[in-house]
């Protein structure tokens, strides 16, 4: 696992299963909701993986870093998802003019945030503990960069 770039698939189960029982078809506004949802999921995944990698740079082993990093980033990940989903509740409950456009977007985002948050908090650290990098280069050894610069090939 190279980074949180696999995270955009995490909102799919919740967003699809949340929209289907409500009788909503896939529309352009639902597609826009997927785009917004993917951004939030990638951000939360990046926060989680960065925290784990920072702990590994201090010398902590991979499994302990994944557990500690997940516990340290619990509040930021949950608050990001909670604030975003609460902002969409009025759109999901609306019944006035434009509700037919706003409801699919809000429903996709709220349902997807639930699954993306749960997967980010529980599955991502577990997968990183099992399959992530074994060792991390220290920031001092790489002049503050995460990876050493590539050498030009002649």
The answer to whether 16 and 104 are in contact (CB under 8 A) is: no
For the segment 109-128, the average pLDDT, to the nearest whole number, is: 91
What domains appear along the chain, each with residue ranges and CATH number?
4-19+27-131 (1.20.1640.10)
- Angle, vertex CA 125, rays to CA 122 and CA 126, nearest 5: 80
pTM over the 0.75 mark: no
Instruction: Please determine, for residue 5, whether its predicted confidence score (pLDDT) is greater than 50.
Output: no
- pLDDT tens digits, one per residue of 10-59: 555 555 554 455 566 677 888 888 888 888 888 889 999 999 999 999 99
Name which residue leads in pLDDT, 139 or 8.
Answer: 139
Instruction: Please determine, for residue 140, whether its predicted confidence score (pLDDT) is greater than 80.
Output: no
Name which residue leads in pLDDT, 143 or 92.
Answer: 92
Enumerate residues 6+ apart whose C-beta is below 8 A from 105: 29, 30, 32, 33, 36, 88, 91
- pLDDT tens digits, one per residue of 45-75: 999 999 999 999 999 999 999 999 999 999 9
pLDDT value of position 57? 92
Instruction: Please determine, for residue 6, whether its predicted confidence score (pLDDT) is greater than 50.
Output: no
Phi/psi for 82 (5° steps) reads: -65, -45
């Amino acid at each position: 696992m190279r980074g949180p770039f696999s995270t955009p698939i995490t909102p799919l189960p919740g967003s699809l299963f949340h929209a289907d029982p409500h009788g909503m078809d896939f529309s352009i506004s639902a597609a826009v909701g997927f785009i917004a949802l993917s951004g939030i999921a990638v951000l939360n995944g990046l926060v989680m993986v960065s925290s784990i990698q920072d702990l590994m740079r201090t010398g902590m082993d991979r499994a302990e870093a994944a557990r500690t990093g997940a516990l340290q980033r619990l509040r930021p990940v949950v608050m990001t998802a909670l604030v975003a989903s609460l902002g969409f509740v009025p759109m999901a409950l609306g019944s006035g003019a434009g509700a037919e456009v706003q409801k699919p977007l809000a429903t996709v985002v709220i349902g997807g945030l639930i699954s993306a948050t749960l997967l980010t908090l529980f599955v991502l650290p577990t997968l990183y503990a099992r399959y992530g990098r074994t060792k991390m280069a220290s920031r001092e050894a790489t002049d503050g960069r995460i990876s050493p610069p590539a050498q030009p090939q002649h």
